[in-house]
Structure 1
Amino acid sequence: MLQFIIRRIAVSGLILLLGSFVLYVATINSGDPLEDLRESNARNREQLMEARAEIMNLDVPWWQRYLGWLTGASKCLVLQCDLGTTMSGSSVNNMLIQSAGASLRLVTLATFLALFIGITLGILSAIRQYSGFDYGITFLAFLFYSLPVFWAAVLLKEYGAIRFNRWMADPNLSLVMIAAVGLVFAILVTSVLGGPIRRQALTFLVTFLVVFGAVYYFDSVNWWQRPALGLPLIIVGGLVALAFMLVMTVGLQNRKIMYAGLITIAVGIVGYFVTRPLMENPSSWWVVLGLALTTVVVSGAIGWLMGGFERKIAMWVTAMTGLGLGFFAFMDYLLRAWSGFLELTPGRQIATIGDTRIDPARFTGTFWENIYNWGIQLILPTIVLTIISIAAYSRYTRASMLETINQDYIRTARSKGLSDRVVYTKHALRNALIPITTIVAFDFASLLGGAVITETIFGWKGLGAMFAQGLNTVDPNPVMGYYLVAGGAAVMMNMLADIAYAFLDPRIRR
């Protein structure tokens, strides 16, 4: 195994080296870095040209310039990168740190969201093959996958930012809009649950009435400007988390683990009131993370004490139930801060161009309002990157799941009398997710590279802007800085996928 890992690292390093050579040569031959100065009418034009030529080492042969860059880049192995300067004399190191941080915020969040949503939809589509839900997800997946990024971004800027900000000035919904929202949710829930026609009709009617009533109530109390979950919805969220974990593990018939989960929710409610002074305005994220860790420990301990012979499963169920309850409590505090954020940023809640957050040093809001200030700018570009990845993940997961559930060992599991829940979660799902490891590796790298278009449209100062600037000005150092991050991420993620495959399937090691 060690030889396999070393061999993959060596091959990955060679690929990065060859790729850097090709990109460097292509960049320096894509135009004239002095073109703007040659067309200038400035009196000191010659001096400016000489200064730029000296900064960019244009009087040095191209291969020496490449070797100089490669020498500086190789120092990254000992955390002492020297990527040179731009044609204006700015440090590429500093530019790369700022740009990579902005891009990674987008790509990381989009990847996690796409993974969770896409894999979930793919599993449900495979389980309910050829149903209305399956056809609907298939249609939406192909639609999102074929969407031009620039077109989707323009629509989001218009409806998700400009019109949304106008609506937030005086938010209200007509009865027709409320009925449309209820209709959409009713169709979605009915298609997911399925069943006989009578049960589908009942599910559709109940869901429509519940959603219609909830949205009508929210609209009448101006919930859109002063939102909150409240203790009842937090408890409902905890119960939903418990039911989900039971269905995915031991089923709803296991009373012992169910009671452990209910006690976890009861303890969590007490903890909600006890920790209120800390959570009203936490001093830092460490307070929130510390409470989350405490929640996992206490919830796991309840599962351990009440789980009996199934302690490990009980700990897993109660820990995830506690985290689910804590998540809804977190969202309650966050939603309550929305009204304060509206007062601090009237008329520009969601920006259409760039990072328009208030400087944290000058921001006077609370901890929760600062979350909006930090993250509200990520919403639109993250949505664009997410919906495209969701389409790919859902289709790959569906195909892998369908291939797995038709295997002989799945039929053997069914013949033993195992329930569909056990067959799907403990036998089919684990093996169906093995090919997804490769897809995730490719997708993360492609998102990082494809963010160039998204960042350009939204004016986001990330790696995409850095790459475009270097390419437009025929400045190789910013382009190579982009390559170092994007190409390195692509090679690294694929190498990790290969190593993970080798662990999962020993035959690959040969």
Structure 2
Amino acid sequence: MFAYILRRLGALVVILFGSSFLLYNLSAISTDPIGELRLSDAPNKDQLILNLTRELRLDLPPPLRYFIWLRGVLGIFAGRADFGLTREQEPVLEAIMGAIPTTIRLVAVATLVAIVLGIALGITSALRQYSRFDYGMTFFAFLLFSLPIFWVAVLLKQYLAIDFNDFLVTAKMSPPWIIGFSIVTGFFWAAIISGSRRQVVLIFSGVFVANSIFLSAISATEWLSYPRLGPIGVFVIGVGIAVGVTYLSVGLSDRNALKTTLLMALVGTISYFPAQPILSSDRPRLGILLLFIALLIVSVSGALLFARVDRGPIIRTSVITSVLIGIFILIDRMMQAWRPYVESDDVNYRPVATIGQSTIWLSEVSFWVR
């Protein structure tokens, strides 16, 4: 076993060395650090080129520069690591250390979301094995898993950051986009709910029409510029959550569970009104805690009220419903801070930052903007 571990570690070192060597040399060959200086009109252009050549040791071939860089990196074992300098003459190690917290947060959130969604969809697919839902989730899982990460990252930055910022200026959706998104949504819900072929067609058609009308209304009213759910939106979403969670958890045939979750939709709507001043106070975290405690107490009490036997599944269904409704109440409160946020001079209608890893000024604004 010890020899096996040593072999694996040795292979890891070789792979790390080979990949870093290739990346370093490819990067060095494909870029020209003094290209901008060659086009400069500065009177001391030649001296600037000479200084930069000496600083970056550009007079040496890239493979040799790699080993010089590697010697500095390996100095980490002696307590004096030297990763070199950036183009702005700042230590690379400081830039790496500054990016580590953001990277850890990103990886942690992505891992948590992947675990929650993966387990939830996996359990649901197992309960509905060989159904359209199972086939649909399997298809999307393999599709997303097979996409190159770097390519997806470029697409996400382009469409969910740059183009999304441009879209928010007018917040208008074109008819082709509405139709395309409605088709995808129809296929998604038809795969989830499943049933006979006739039921699937009816579900797809209903979702397509409803989603088209919904998106058209959002575009016409410019809701994305002034987003808010309000008590009516919370109630409608709450009813949808109640029916959906009941269907996935115990089935709609369990009337006691359905009554309990629908009660939570009503209670969530009522709690919307006293929650607003509490969430807008100077202690919003306390308000969030009180909101969820109240919803959980009511959800358990409602489940005990309607369920006489087999209370466990009904309590679970009611608690999940109450938590989801509470989350949408918080989302509504965040939506209320949207317009002042995008209209501020720092954001200027481009809320998704595309340069840098953080927005420093956000530490000085309200809790709901952060």
Output the TM-score relative to the length of structure 2. 0.69
Q: Compare relative contact order (CA 8 Å, sep 6+) and give the higher one, 1 or 2.
A: 1
Which deviates further from its counterpart, 218-227 or 135-144?
135-144
Contact 2:343 2:349 (8 Å CA) reproduced: no
Query: What is the CA distance between 1:113 and its match in structure 2?
Result: 2.1
Residues 323 and 86 of structure 1: CA distance in aligned 2, closer, same or farther (over 3 Å): same
Once residues 229 and 255 of structure 1 are traced to their aligned partners in structure 2, the CA distance between those partners, rounded to angstroms, is 28
1:307 maps to 2:307: yes
Contact 2:243 2:252 (8 Å CA) reproduced: yes
Residues 100 and 114 of structure 1: CA distance in aligned 2, closer, same or farther (over 3 Å): same
Residues 304 and 68 of structure 1: CA distance in aligned 2, closer, same or farther (over 3 Å): farther
What is the aligned partner in structure 1 of residue 211 from structure 2?
A: 211
Secondary structure at the aligned position of 1:199 is classed as helix
1:326 maps to 2:326: yes
Contact 2:333 2:368 (8 Å CA) reproduced: yes
What is the aligned partner in structure 1 of residue 350 from structure 2?
A: 348
Query: What is the CA distance between 1:221 and its match in structure 2?
Result: 0.5
CA-to-aligned-CA distance 1:323-344 (integer Å, 9 cap, x gap): 1211111111222322222102
Once residues 367 and 176 of structure 1 are traced to their aligned partners in structure 2, the CA distance between those partners, rounded to angstroms, is 38
- Give unpaired runs (5+ residues) of structure 2: 23-50, 56-68
1:174 maps to 2:174: yes
What is the aligned partner in structure 2 of residue 196 from structure 1?
A: 196
Contact 2:246 2:261 (8 Å CA) reproduced: no
Once residues 218 and 300 of structure 2 are traced to their aligned partners in structure 1, the CA distance between those partners, rounded to angstroms, is 36
In structure 2, give the amino acid aligned to 1:104: I
Residues 262 and 149 of structure 1: CA distance in aligned 2, closer, same or farther (over 3 Å): closer
Residues 346 and 311 of structure 1: CA distance in aligned 2, closer, same or farther (over 3 Å): same
Give matches, 1:182-331, under 5 Å.
182-280=182-280, 283-331=283-331
Contact 1:305 1:311 (8 Å CA) reproduced: no
Once residues 206 and 199 of structure 1 are traced to their aligned partners in structure 2, the CA distance between those partners, rounded to angstroms, is 10
Deviation above 6 Å: which 4+ runs of structure 1? 87-97
Secondary structure at the aligned position of 1:367 is classed as coil
Once residues 125 and 255 of structure 1 are traced to their aligned partners in structure 2, the CA distance between those partners, rounded to angstroms, is 23
Query: What is the CA distance between 1:254 and its match in structure 2?
Result: 3.6
CA-to-aligned-CA distance 1:26-58 (integer Å, 9 cap, x gap): 69x979xxxxxx99658xxxxxxxxxxxxx9x8
- Give unpaired runs (5+ residues) of structure 1: 1-10, 32-37, 43-55, 70-83, 371-510
What CA RMSD, in Å, does the superposition of the two structures yield over aligned residues? 4.3
Contact 1:85 1:91 (8 Å CA) reproduced: no
In structure 1, give the amino acid aligned to 2:229: L
Secondary structure at the aligned position of 1:223 is classed as coil
Give matches, 1:34-73, under 5 Å.
41=54
Once residues 319 and 306 of structure 2 are traced to their aligned partners in structure 1, the CA distance between those partners, rounded to angstroms, is 13
Query: What is the CA distance between 1:168 and its match in structure 2?
Result: 1.2
Residues 155 and 97 of structure 1: CA distance in aligned 2, closer, same or farther (over 3 Å): closer
Secondary structure at the aligned position of 1:173 is classed as coil
How many correspondences in the alignment? 320
CA-to-aligned-CA distance 1:297-337 (integer Å, 9 cap, x gap): 34223334553343444432322222121111111122232
In structure 2, give the amino acid aligned to 1:129: Y
Contact 1:185 1:207 (8 Å CA) reproduced: yes
Give matches, 1:372-411, under 5 Å.
none
Residues 95 and 275 of structure 1: CA distance in aligned 2, closer, same or farther (over 3 Å): same
Secondary structure at the aligned position of 1:354 is classed as coil
Contact 1:303 1:314 (8 Å CA) reproduced: yes
Query: What is the CA distance between 1:216 and its match in structure 2?
Result: 0.9
Give matches, 1:458-477, under 5 Å.
none
CA-to-aligned-CA distance 1:401-421 (integer Å, 9 cap, x gap): xxxxxxxxxxxxxxxxxxxxx
Secondary structure at the aligned position of 1:348 is classed as coil
CA-to-aligned-CA distance 1:441-486 (integer Å, 9 cap, x gap): xxxxxxxxxxxxxxxxxxxxxxxxxxxxxxxxxxxxxxxxxxxxxx
Which deviates further from its counterpart, 351-360 or 118-127?
118-127
Query: What is the CA distance between 1:148 and its match in structure 2?
Result: 2.3
Secondary structure at the aligned position of 2:361 is classed as coil
Contact 1:283 1:367 (8 Å CA) reproduced: no
In structure 1, give the amino acid aligned to 2:368: W
Secondary structure at the aligned position of 2:225 is classed as coil
CA-to-aligned-CA distance 1:100-128 (integer Å, 9 cap, x gap): 42122111211222233344444555535
Once residues 129 and 339 of structure 1 are traced to their aligned partners in structure 2, the CA distance between those partners, rounded to angstroms, is 46
In structure 2, give the amino acid aligned to 1:252: L
In structure 2, give the amino acid aligned to 1:346: N
Once residues 296 and 143 of structure 1 are traced to their aligned partners in structure 2, the CA distance between those partners, rounded to angstroms, is 37
Contact 1:296 1:320 (8 Å CA) reproduced: no
Once residues 155 and 199 of structure 2 are traced to their aligned partners in structure 1, the CA distance between those partners, rounded to angstroms, is 38
In structure 2, give the amino acid aligned to 1:164: F
Once residues 137 and 173 of structure 1 are traced to their aligned partners in structure 2, the CA distance between those partners, rounded to angstroms, is 28
Query: What is the CA distance between 1:87 and its match in structure 2?
Result: 6.4
Output the TM-score relative to the length of structure 1. 0.52
Once residues 220 and 176 of structure 1 are traced to their aligned partners in structure 2, the CA distance between those partners, rounded to angstroms, is 15
Secondary structure at the aligned position of 2:310 is classed as helix
Residues 305 and 122 of structure 1: CA distance in aligned 2, closer, same or farther (over 3 Å): closer
Residues 251 and 68 of structure 1: CA distance in aligned 2, closer, same or farther (over 3 Å): same
Once residues 202 and 21 of structure 2 are traced to their aligned partners in structure 1, the CA distance between those partners, rounded to angstroms, is 64
Query: What is the CA distance between 1:220 and its match in structure 2?
Result: 0.8
What is the aligned partner in structure 1 of residue 130 from structure 2?
A: 129
Residues 39 and 276 of structure 1: CA distance in aligned 2, closer, same or farther (over 3 Å): closer
Once residues 169 and 66 of structure 1 are traced to their aligned partners in structure 2, the CA distance between those partners, rounded to angstroms, is 49
